[in-house]
Amino acid sequence: VPNPTVGVGYSREQSGVENLMSVTVSIPLASRQVRIASGMAMAEAQKANFETGRVENRLRQETQYWFTQMESATVRSE
């Protein structure tokens, strides 16, 4: 979605002899390359989120495994 910008300006030149007034309108248009790059960046972010969740799950499982191993060793040593 384009984000238009409107501007109004005023200036004096040549010791106040000339008064200038300006109006500008700017409408940036995303090029095809920008849309493609944006889509690729979103896909990479989703991939990173998925990988983060996968690593978190693996670490939870490993932590639970080693905690269970430690409890078993403690029970056997008593």
Domain ranges of the chain: 5-77
State the Cα–Cα distance between residues 35 and 41, nearest whole angstrom: 10
Q: What pLDDT, in 10s, does the model give residues 2-19?
A: 788 999 999 988 777 888
Task: Please tell me the pTM assigned to this model.
Answer: 0.49
What are the DSSP calls for 7-26, one per residue?
Answer: EEEEEEETTTTEEEEEEEEE
Q: What pLDDT, in 10s, does the model give residues 41-72?
A: 999 999 999 999 999 999 999 999 999 999 99
Report angle CA 53, 37, 29 to the nearest 5 degrees. Answer: 135
Sign of CA dihedral 56, 61, 65, 70: positive
